[in-house]
Every structure is written in C-alpha cells, then in structure tokens.
Structure 1
C-alpha cells in the first residue's frame, strides 16, 4: 500500500483531493495540517493542496526537502516554483474557468498520459511565470504558459489546475500517475 498524505493549505477542494486518492487502488491517505513538523511526516508521497494564500502554507516549503515525491496543486504548484527559484506572479486571466491544457511532454510521468490535451478547471489569479532550475514546463494553455511542470530527478511536480474536481477531465488518471511515481 502506498501512503500519500495531502497537506491541507486551506483550499476549498482539499477534501476532494483526499477523497480521490483514498478511492485509488493501492493508496492509503491522510489529510495533514500544514503546520505539522516535517520530521513527523512519514509518507511515500505528498500532495500540497491549493489554498487562498501563499502566506498560509505553514511548513509546506520545508516538506520539499523530505526526499519523497511531491505534487503541488494550484497554490501548491506556485509554492514549489517560488521556493525552488522560479517566478510566480499575477495571472492575466483571473478567477476560475474551464481551460484547455496542452500537454508538452508525452514522456512525462505525471501528465504525459493525458496528451495531447485535456479540459481543466483552474484559477489563474496567480500562476507560475518561470519554472525553477531543474524543472521542465510540461503543459500550457492560451491563458497560462506554465500549466504544469516537472523535476523528474527530484520527483517534484506541479499543476495549475484542479484534477480533483468533476469539471477536469481525467483527474483520477493524474492522481494514479502520481501514485505510480510514489511506488
């Protein structure tokens, strides 16, 4: 059984991330408060949830040093970029909307199987503008140049969209891909 913790950054969809992982074969999951000390984290992988503010992500930045796979969703994606040397800024598009995302790397272990494109539900109030060193830009859209990014050497991944909501196509497949990365 693969143990994947969801770090609660107070996003409105965090419980759906937890539920989608819980429903996957071979996954045990817990919802963990983002103030949990890093040394208390004992998991095969982490999902950094979305949330309202990067100032409210608790110890999430420290979890990037645990040497386990990490998937950042929306705010979690932005936190990864900011903490590891990328650039995050205000998006031109704004709030939640249906967005067609083009997959740029069919060999990417997280998003490659979703190629050539998927419909997603995403907020672009803030977004990753530049990926950190060591990361590859793996998806884009007409409203955002960095819809997804991957550092396969460190197994750190991020997506701007919310794979856990019904409006996003093939969200369960993305979580299954992350489960496979964590094995």
Structure 2
C-alpha cells in the first residue's frame, strides 16, 4: 500500500489533507515538522499549509529526500523559497474562492483538472517567481503562480487548498499525487 506522510506545519486544514489521502486508500499519518528526515518512512510527502514560514521546522531538509513532495499553500511557498524562487505578500490577501486556469494540460499533478477550476485559496503570501527547473502549471487573475511542478525531481506545489470542500476537483489533485508516488 502506498504511504504518504503529511507534514504538519500547524495549518488549520492539515487533518483534512490526511483524511483526503485516507479516503483514497492511502496509508497516511500526520507527523510534526521537526521530525528528522531519516525517520520519515514514506513513498511521498505532503507539506501542509500553515500560518508562518518561521514555523516550518525541518521542511527544507525534506526536499533532499528522494520521494515526491506536494506543497500546499505554505508548503508550496516553502518549496519555492528554499529552491531559489521568490515569495511576496499577495495583493489580494486572505481566503477566497478563486478561478484558476490550468496552463499545462500535460502536468501530472494538475493537468487533468478542468481548464478553469474553482479553488479555495489564501493569497496573503504567494509565489511570484518559480525556482529553476520548475514550470508554472496554473494561474489566476489573483496570482500568477497558482501551481508549479518540477517533474524531474517530483516536486509540486499548489497555492490553493485541494483538501477543502470549496475546491472543485480537489480529490483529483490527491489522486494524481498518489499516482505520482506509486510510479
């Protein structure tokens, strides 16, 4: 059975990420973000959302593990920051229902979603420049980098929260990530 560990960055929806994976038949646990990388036994990791980049524990160390990683909101921003991208305060601010446009239909994480998909996202902070090796895979009129992927390293990020009911096709994002982890 595929095992995907959710890294807890103290976000309010972390338990929903675990539930979404469990509902797909994935073996999953939530682990603290201070867990040593060598103690993580998983086929993939989800870096959860959270309130503050200063509270991401050892998440940067996890990027060196040889497993697929999906960053959600803060996790997405952490991946960008740690690998040479740039994050800034968003002009839009807090949580909102946003329509994202999928710009890479071949992307293994978000390419299967409808070309225009409604999502629930926070834009207090957002990725404004993707790191080297990444492609921007979704955008909106609120944020230029709603999603990004580095398929060579199996690193993926979404600004939105696929685990909440307000996001259309959120389950598909987790299904696609499970499929990536099973390859």
Q: Structure 1 length normalisation: TM-score? A: 0.99
Q: Residues 107-122 of structure 1 correspond to what in structure 2 (within 5 A)?
A: 107-122=106-121
- In the other structure, the counterpart of 2:23 is 23
Query: How many residue pairs get matched?
Result: 182
- In the other structure, the counterpart of 1:92 is 91
What is the deviation of 1:67?
1.0
What is the deviation of 1:159?
0.1
3-state DSSP class of the match of 2:109? coil
- In the other structure, the counterpart of 1:9 is 9
CA distance in 1 between partners of 2:41 and 2:14 (Å): 19
- In the other structure, the counterpart of 1:182 is 181
Q: Residues 1-183 of structure 1 correspond to what in structure 2 (within 5 A)?
A: 1-25=1-25, 27-183=26-182
3-state DSSP class of the match of 2:59? coil
3-state DSSP class of the match of 2:16? helix
CA distance in 2 between partners of 1:115 and 1:97 (Å): 19
What is the deviation of 1:102?
0.2
**Contact 1:164–1:172 (8 Å) recurs in 2:** yes
3-state DSSP class of the match of 1:112? coil
Unaligned runs of 5+ in 2: none
**Contact 1:95–1:123 (8 Å) recurs in 2:** yes
Unaligned runs of 5+ in 1: none
What is the deviation of 1:115?
3.1
Q: Structure 2 length normalisation: TM-score? A: 0.99
CA distance in 2 between partners of 1:162 and 1:90 (Å): 18
Give the aligned CA root-mean-square deviation in angstroms.
0.5
